[in-house]
Amino acid sequence: MTEQPKDFVGDRTSVELFAGGGGLAMAVHRAGFRPLLFNEFNTRACETLEASATKTLGDDGIIRTQDRKPTAPKPGEPAPLYPGDVQDLDLSALRGQVDVLAGGPPCQPFSAGGVAKGDEDKRNMFPAMFKAIREMQPKAVICENVRGLLRPSFKEYFDYIQRELQLPFVEREDSVRWQVHNAQLERLLAQRPANDRDDQRYHVVQVPVNAADYGVPQIRHRVVLVAFRADLDVDVDTFEKYVKTPRFSASALYRSMRDEDGEYWQRHSKVPEHVRERVRASLPKIIGEDDCAPWRTLRDAIQGFGTDTRLPELPPIDLAKLDRKSEQAARLGITDHIGWPAARIYKGHTPNELDRPAKTVKAGVHGVPGGESVMLLDERVHDSSVENGWRYEHRYMTVRETARVMTFPDEWQGAGPRGEKMRQLGNAVPVVLGEFFAKAVADALGNAGH
């Protein structure tokens, strides 16, 4: 992807649906887009957006509105936040004014952690996304969702989703089964040339991603759909090659750890030798070569490495005072960096390791089942029941540590109790991942003269 043309002058704009805790919204703003509208149904998430707006979404802020047909704010004015059902919105007043429509429609219908009803589930909000496209006709669309959409059982329906995104103006009537509509879209697409420059057609790129490959300190498998309006003549092939090229790799991380004085250990000079030995002993015997940067780890996130600006190291949590959360909060002076008691390790519930990317942060509607919110520490105690006589301590990750794993800035302020904040983070798009795609979209539009 070449750099954005230097003669580009303009006011890039965005609309964010299903904004949640603001991950993708922050990403799109950091890529240079001015928000025209936010929409989010959940009350606590709306409070989070408001609390964090001026620090993470620009200086103009957010203002709640009950206007179901919102108009675009002028530069310098706050962006409206509609705190209700996206299906109630009429976005036609924004037609022709939106560069990027971004959003992650609720993923529960397709998640392996949910009931996986797919298109039959009333929580499937893809139809609302297509309605928004018809009303606004944005230049580009960025849509993130769970990798469950790629499962064989959902393949036919996911193919249908992509065809709808290609031809969103061919609307499906409520009485028509999706299979019938899918067949209609297939016929229409077969009749049109690939280079068709219709302003009611979109060229779609599907990108399966592991967020760790894009600089996120977390193993997070998702699928990103990006669509460009066909009449804009965007070089979609170049865009697709760019966004599918790995930037970070496990092999590069292993190479940085392999030697006692490796780059990783130079960065983390305070790590005890027994931890270094344990990590080096677990490395693959054969490590590949590539031109990638090292995967970022949980330790990187906690100690503030791996962002554009080095963040302060988060102080340790006192394991003897996990029940005295308010006392810790006052002592540390860091929002949401508070210990939590009763973390457990057992079969199928294993903790995160500091010197690996974290496990996938999950929303955990019914509790997080795999130990994703537990972390293994550097501290150890004698334990004769363990093979080598040592047992490593563990604890729950704090909300702030989890936010860093999601590459949220420390200015982000989650609303509600711990469980609600963790839910917002688990449902979010990592900011670094979203920003990569949003910048790539901005470059692609700029290179096409838009």
Q: Mind telling me the catalytic residues?
A: 107
Contact 128, 165 (CB under 8 A): no
Please name the helix (run of DSSP H) or strand (run of DSSP E) that holds residue 381, with its range, or none. Answer: strand 374-382
443 Cα distance to chain centroid: 20
Question: Helix or strand or coil: residue 100?
Answer: strand
Contact 147, 208 (CB under 8 A): yes
Strands 221-229 vs 202-210: parallel, antiparallel or unpaired = antiparallel
Phi/psi of residue 416, nearest 5 degrees: 100, 180
In angstroms, the CA 364 to CA 187 distance is 41
Single-letter code of the amino acid located at 174: D
Radius of gyration of the chain (CA): 23
In angstroms, the CA 218 to CA 283 distance is 18
Region for 76 from its dihedrals, namely left if φ exceeds 0, alpha if ψ lies in -120 to 50, beta otherwise: left
Residue 237, Cβ neighbours under 10 Å: how many? 10
Helix axes 23-30, 43-56, angle to 10 degrees: 20
In angstroms, the CA 430 to CA 216 distance is 7
Q: Residue 92, class by beta-carbon neighbours within 10 Å (0-12 exposed, 13-18 middle, 19+ buried)?
A: exposed
In angstroms, the CA 405 to CA 402 distance is 5
